Amino acid sequence: MVDQQPQVVSGLQLWQWRNQAMQAAIAAAVPPSEVDWLLQEIAGLDRLALRLESFKDWSEIPMAMSLADLEQLWHRRLHDRLPVQYIAGVTPWRKFQLVVSSAVLIPRPETECLIDLAVAAITHSQANPSLDQGHWVDLGTGSGAIAIGLADVLPKATIHAVDYSATALEIAQANAQNLGFADRIYFHQGSWWEPLTPLKGQFSGMVSNPPYIPTETVATLEPEVMQHEPHLALDGGTDGLDDIRHLIAVSPSYLRPGGVWLIEMMAGQADAVQEMLLNQGSYCNVQIYPDLEGIERFALAYVSGE
């Protein structure tokens, strides 16, 4: 947010701004519902008050920023295509509210499925019933979303979060602190597995949402993504598979026998990822799972052994 100092406006002022913002959104082909989502975050208004417009008669409404700052940011939303999550400085993910900025990828709803798949992988692993314990890692943690999700569902596990970006790690650490997981998650700066060399062979599971968009495709993404989200978290090389290829090759030396390997990928990559996992020779029980829209989005495998 531009200004963290609390501001107070009248209900009438905010109602007038809301109407103007919605009209401008429609004209700019931006969903007007984003205005109300933003006001829920910035002004603490609930959906009922917004729907009934009852806040119009309130004498004072505390806001996280001034109306002038809000208007300036909304102008950037419409004309610069700044994502509304970056304006609010937060985004919902699973049951959490995560702090976000342009230093981190905005966590998507489909990525929430990775947490449920990790739990299912543990439940269905007859060869290794203790997978819910020991070390788990979120590689390329960004906002810390996956690491926090893992800490929430795996209370017996020690969670590690790795990111190449120091700025992203600061945001991830702030989210862990805000949500009460600071003592459960260890943060490491570096490239993929490299900071975790002392723990080689000890990990029960790895979960990652790596960059997987082909370089040439990045420039064609919607402007909200291409112009504002970090390309480091998007660009997966010529075919989009550079980082996934690396994770397939390196992970078996870090995961213990029976350990879980789980990633998110792009539509159309499932066959290639499955083939690479099978050809690598260290994985078994390779499975592909769809997201909520039926797109083959996730690859799960176990490290062979035991």
The answer as to whether 277 is a domain residue is yes
Above pLDDT 90, what percent of the chain? 63
The answer as to whether 93 is a domain residue is no
Name every residue whose Cβ is closer than 8 Å to that of residue 172 and which is 6 or more positions away in sequence. Answer: 104, 141, 142, 143, 144, 147, 161, 163, 187
pTM for this prediction:
0.86
Task: Please count the structural domains in the chain.
Answer: 2
Same domain, 23 and 115: no
Above pLDDT 70, what percent of the chain? 95
Same domain, 126 and 50: no
The answer as to whether 94 is a domain residue is no
C-alpha–C-alpha distance, residues 207 and 139, integer Å: 7
C-alpha–C-alpha distance, residues 252 and 282, integer Å: 6
pLDDT band at 133 (very low <50, low <70, confident <90, very high): confident
The answer as to whether 95 is a domain residue is no
The answer as to whether 102 is a domain residue is no
Domain end residue (candidates: 88, 121, 137): 88
Q: 137-158 burial, b for 16+ CB within 10 Å, e for fewer?
A: bbbbbbbbbbbbbbbbebeebb
Radius of gyration from C-alpha coordinates of the chain: 21
**230 pLDDT above the threshold of 90:** no
Decide: residue 192, CB within 10 A, 0-12 exposed, 13-18 middle, 19+ buried: buried
Domain end residue (candidates: 88, 118, 134): 88
Q: What is the pLDDT of residue 247?
A: 96
Per-residue pLDDT reduced to its tens digit, 64-100: 888 888 898 898 889 888 888 888 888 999 999 999 9
Same domain, 252 and 122: yes
Same domain, 153 and 232: yes
Domain housing 200 = 109-303
Name every residue whose Cβ is closer than 8 Å to that of residue 292 and which is 6 or more positions away in sequence. Answer: 109, 110, 113
Name every residue whose Cβ is closer than 8 Å to that of residue 17 and which is 6 or more positions away in sequence. Answer: 67, 70, 71
| Half-sphere exposure for 133 (CA within 13 Å, toward CB) | 3
Backbone dihedral region for residue 118 (phi beyond 0: left; psi -120 to 50: alpha; all else: beta): alpha
Same domain, 84 and 113: no
Domain end residue (candidates: 88, 119, 150): 88
Same domain, 148 and 57: no
The answer as to whether 97 is a domain residue is no
Same domain, 15 and 140: no
Kindly report which listed range (82-86, 114-118, 195-199) carries the lowest average pLDDT score: 82-86
The answer as to whether 299 is a domain residue is yes
User: Among candidates 259, 249, 258, which has minimal Cα distance to 281?
Assistant: 249
Same domain, 151 and 238: yes
pLDDT band at 129 (very low <50, low <70, confident <90, very high): low
Same domain, 11 and 146: no
Strand partners, 134: 157
Name every residue whose Cβ is closer than 8 Å to that of residue 44 and which is 6 or more positions away in sequence. Answer: 61, 62
**4 pLDDT above the threshold of 60:** no
The answer as to whether 2 is a domain residue is no
- In sequence order, what DSSP letters do the residues of 25-94 get, joined into one string? HHHTT--THHHHHHHHHHS---HHHHHHTGGGG-S-EEESS-HHHHHHHHHHHHHT---HHHHHTEEEET
Mean pLDDT of the chain: 90
Same domain, 147 and 219: yes
Same domain, 229 and 141: yes
Same domain, 78 and 113: no
